Structures are given as structure tokens and as C-alpha cells.
Amino acid sequence: MATSGVKLYGGRPSPYVNRVEMALEMKSVDYELVEMNPYEKSELLIKLNPIHKKVPVLVHGDRPICESLIIVQYIDDAWTNGPSILPTDPYDRAIARFWAAFVDDKFFPLLRQMRDTKEEEAKRLVFEKVLEAFVLLEGAFITCSKGKAFFGGDTVGYLDIALGSFVGYLRVSEMMNANYKILDETKTPCLAGWAERLYSDSLVKDAMLDPHKLLESLTKLQALSKTDSD
């Protein structure tokens, strides 16, 4: 399928936008990243995504597709070149979707809550919940990977993308909170090794979020958000 006419609307610091970048890189799709301020509901964004009014939005030809995991599935179906993103087995597909929903509905909200919690004891309690969720994801990796390098087996797959887009944020969290290590080689050794492999994998390494650049971008975005609210 031709790769012309593909635009991705969103800001690079967004893990949800990053998911789409990872999928496009895996499929070797040429695309244009159109940067959008996530705090600004522009007329264009509202036109492209009138329901949720948020990024990412993938426009293929003249047709917009919204919601990161749905976009990833679309990319897998629309471009058959390159490795499959979703598992081919129906059961494995269902399990991958289940854990991807767990990442979005349970894990990342806890990570965000820990970031926003200022009081130390309250932060520690949230951190314990984050670790509990990450231990569950460690078990999911053991089951889904079947002894191989990634959730998807020999190559990066759907769940690798779903969780992998947050690895940069995990590392930023650890940079900002030295006492709160999440990618812990002693508690979750499989995921610690998986994260390292993800950053060096030829299919997605160019799309992975650099923690230092991510921290710089987040600081600027937070300052911009504060300015807009004043």
C-alpha cells in the first residue's frame, strides 16, 4: 500500500502519540508529524477528533482515525508489509488487548497519580500500588513472551507498543524520584531487560522517547500550561 498522504497529529512527549510512531516505524510508513499543543483545543483538532478532542489523530488520505490503540490496530491492518503487530492467534490477540487495556486503565493512571502526589507518605503508598501493577505486568510478560525477547515473541508487538510508550516516563519518574525505582532488576527482572531491548531494537529504537529530552519537554509543557491558566 502506498505510504503517501499520512499525517500524525500530536506532540512527541505524549506516550499515546509515541505508540503510533512506534507502529508506523515498524511498518516503515513515511509520515508527517504535525505538532500540536495538547493543552490547546484548536479548530483543526476539534474537526479531526470532534468526540474526544485530543491527540493522537492519524490521517490516512483524507480519513482521520482516533485513539492510540485503535490507530495501532488500523496501521497493522492497513499496511501488511513488515512484521505483524497484533498476534495472529485469536486467543493471543485477546490477551494482548486485555493487558493493553490494563496499562491504560490501571497502570498509567497510578503512575500519573504518583507524579502528582506531593506528600511523601501518600506518594509512597501510591508507589506501592504502581509496583503491584508492574509485578502483574511482569507476569503477563512471562506468559505472553513464551520465553522470547518481547511480549510479541521474537519481534515487538501490540503489547510492547502499548506499554513501551510509557518506558520513557518510567525513567523520567525515576530521575525525578531516586527513591522510587520501578524498572527494578530485582523485583521485575524480565521487564527491566525488556525495556533495555526495546531501546536497542532496530524496528522501534528511532521512535523511543529519550528520557532526558522527555523531561525537558515536559518541563516546558508544564510551564506553558501554567501560563495558559494564569
- Residue 212's closest CA among 175, 165, 187? 175
Percent of the chain with pLDDT over 70: 94
Is pLDDT above 80 for 102?
Answer: yes
Asked if CATH classification 3.40.30.10 holds for the domain at 6-78, the reply, yes or no, is: yes
CA distance 166 to 208: 10
- Residue 172's closest CA among 156, 162, 183? 183
CA distance 81 to 173: 36
Is pLDDT above 50 for 30?
Answer: yes
Peptide bond into 64 cis (omega under 30): no
Cα of 47 vs its chain's centroid, Å: 24
Is pLDDT above 90 for 109?
Answer: yes
Which helix (DSSP H) or strand (DSSP E) does residue 66 occupy?
Answer: strand 63-66
**Mean pLDDT in the chain?**
91
* Third-level CATH fold of 90-213: Glutathione S-transferase Yfyf (Class Pi); Chain A, domain 2 (1.20.1050)
Ordered by start, the domain boundaries in the chain are 6-78, 90-213
Contact 194, 144 (CB under 8 A): no
Q: What residue spans of 34-182 are helical by DSSP H? A: 43-48, 68-78, 90-102, 108-116, 120-145, 158-164, 167-176
Q: Confirm whether pTM is higher than 0.95.
A: no
